[in-house]
Structure 1
């Protein structure tokens, strides 16, 4: 049977504006690698080389970055979801465009600390028709909820106002043994009150029709990149696992677990965990504190940064200011004189304080 990966990246990322006006969530890099590329590498390492990417908002940017997948060692085809009609509809679009057989569906803004290997293995070994990955979350109302009785999922509820007791939430990976069953299920569901074909309704069809629906609870962290804080939380989790590597030039001081890529120059101080991307320059009066990711071609003079992500080719002149809990869009210019400042800005913005 054919095996296809499906990565869903058609969303507009409205809660991440202004960043997502020009940069879709899955293309936001962390430590030099966009999330969508990390997902493709995870699928490839589990033997999934045929991948459909379902695009919508700014879809041409995915085509520019990924092309036909040959540079990553996979085959990529694109499906288009022109309207926001939900996850189930996006899967349906990929099937319409040729994704058949076994499907491993991954949301493009989700990331799993433990990787995908265990989930895919348990799905196949259990001979399930559908397999989902669940977790506990402090705000279950943001996600689909699974009600479990006697070790089985008996009901799925999309974003409940009142979550059921001890509920587990659905993460962004769904596995189906046969695309034909997915199409049968899709043909029976109708748009929800918010106008979307919900993944919970699609999988509920399998439950109601006696199909074998399995699940796992992830035993590590899971992040859904819905908000700026979610992106920063993912950055912190990934930096927690970083191994030190210095390929650039250190003229100043580096402490702890720090990655300095080739072509980067550090004249100031960097305290790990931290990442300094290719060709970036950290000026002699600058202090990079813990949990900072500086992407490629960034220039920073003065000030200090903590718990922040600075995207490619930004320019920061911080004076005596301290930038905290911030995301600075690519090619932006920030000029500050003093104080503790938090910013979330999109591409090409200019911020100047008096």
Structure 2
């Protein structure tokens, strides 16, 4: 069995960060989300991995390399444009050959891994096996309709009026039976080759398609709220470790990790919190469910329930919460006079400011 990881896509819901960075490399507890995907694949005993890459190909290559850090052999498969998940199967045809494969979306996060799912698929070998989970608003997902006996009878992609609350999780398993179906697909109204159409095509051709409803935790980390929520969940299991320097004037409460070369001075940190290697926290408060990446500076500020990416500076700005702050960002106080906000924002930015100065 092989694995296929779609890692292209524009990441429009995470702009402006994804103007310059791959959404699959946004860190969860200071580790890129795609690394969790690679770990799950390796734990399932799969070693051959194809990663479909787009405009951020070089960044993804630099982060993952040849896959040997996970005991994997990685092949990169260029995709000229994000034309749908079924299109990734189409362009991966030569890499996949006639092997069974698991498709695991590179920006999805699934607690518990995929080992059990892969073992079940290897034992039963249906043409396709899909994972479903109940969601509050299924309109943003592929939606499955089951009959009274729990068998799949229909799939819709992002329907306006969903027939159920069962959404497709971003993990799919296929035999080579899917390839002729994908080859015959035409673009949807969105201009994409939909994986839900490929699964429906297998059903209509008489191939067995099996569903598994997961009760575990799953998130598509495609927006800020979901990234912060997944970061919170992962930090809940954080093992405290102090590899850096914490001075006597600082107070660490709960599960706190301070990375190698990091320095904490005169600060209060209430875990779970992770401070990345080489970062400095000085005269500040860092509150629960916060990840600060490597080589950051948090000076005379308060930070809580947030994710800060590498080499950013937050200095003298009071309290920040529920925020995703990109790489090499500088957040500093405005001049006292005139009393006004001064902003330099990229396209698709979103800023919330106090109404009264």
Same fold (TM over 0.5): yes
TM-score by length of 2: 0.90
Q: Which residue of the partner structure matches residue 152 of structure 1?
A: 151
The answer (yes or no) to whether the contact 1:24–1:58 under 8 Å persists in 2 is yes
> What is the Cα deviation at residue 101 of structure 1?
0.5
Q: Which residue of the partner structure matches residue 75 of structure 1?
A: 73
Q: Which residue of the partner structure matches residue 215 of structure 2?
A: 219
Q: Which residue of the partner structure matches residue 174 of structure 1?
A: 172
SS of 1:84's partner is: coil
TM-score by length of 1: 0.91
The answer (yes or no) to whether the contact 2:157–2:196 under 8 Å persists in 1 is yes
* Aligned-partner Cα distance in 2 for 1:176–1:246: 44
- Count of residue pairs brought into register by the alignment: 340
2:39 to 29, 38, 41: 41
* Aligned-partner Cα distance in 1 for 2:96–2:66: 15
Q: Deviations over 1:294-348 (max 9, x none)?
A: 01111110121111001111111034x100111111111110379xx9x9x88xx
Q: Which residue of the partner structure matches residue 272 of structure 1?
A: 271
Pairing 1:119–2:117 present: yes
Q: Which residue of the partner structure matches residue 336 of structure 1?
A: 333
SS of 1:170's partner is: strand
> What is the Cα deviation at residue 71 of structure 1?
3.3
Q: Deviations over 1:85-130 (max 9, x none)?
A: 1000111111234554011101111010121122212222333221
SS of 1:214's partner is: strand
Q: Which residue of the partner structure matches residue 163 of structure 1?
A: 162
Gaps of 5+ in 1: none
Please give the residue correspondences for 1:104-115 in structure 2 after superposition, counting only pairs within 5 Å: 104-115=102-113
Q: Deviations over 1:243-301 (max 9, x none)?
A: 22222222111101112222111121110111111111110x20001110001111110
* Aligned-partner Cα distance in 2 for 1:125–1:71: 29
Pairing 1:246–2:246 present: no
* Aligned-partner Cα distance in 1 for 2:70–2:333: 40
Q: Which residue of the partner structure matches residue 322 of structure 1?
A: 319
The answer (yes or no) to whether the contact 1:31–1:277 under 8 Å persists in 2 is no
> What is the Cα deviation at residue 32 of structure 1?
2.6
Pairing 1:236–2:232 present: yes
Q: Which residue of the partner structure matches residue 187 of structure 1?
A: 183
1:139 to 137, 140, 149: 137
The answer (yes or no) to whether the contact 1:46–1:117 under 8 Å persists in 2 is yes
* Aligned-partner Cα distance in 2 for 1:318–1:215: 52
In structure 2, do the counterparts of structure 1 residues 99 and 292 end up closer, same or farther at CA, with 3 Å as the change threshold?
farther
The answer (yes or no) to whether the contact 2:7–2:52 under 8 Å persists in 1 is yes
Gaps of 5+ in 2: none
Pairing 1:57–2:58 present: no
Q: Deviations over 1:170-223 (max 9, x none)?
A: 010110122xx1211112221100100001000001111221211211221111
* Aligned-partner Cα distance in 1 for 2:125–2:70: 30
Q: Deviations over 1:42-79 (max 9, x none)?
A: 10111111000000121111112222222332110011
Q: Which residue of the partner structure matches residue 299 of structure 1?
A: 297
In structure 2, do the counterparts of structure 1 residues 99 and 18 end up closer, same or farther at CA, with 3 Å as the change threshold?
farther
The answer (yes or no) to whether the contact 1:299–1:315 under 8 Å persists in 2 is yes
> What is the Cα deviation at residue 167 of structure 1?
2.9
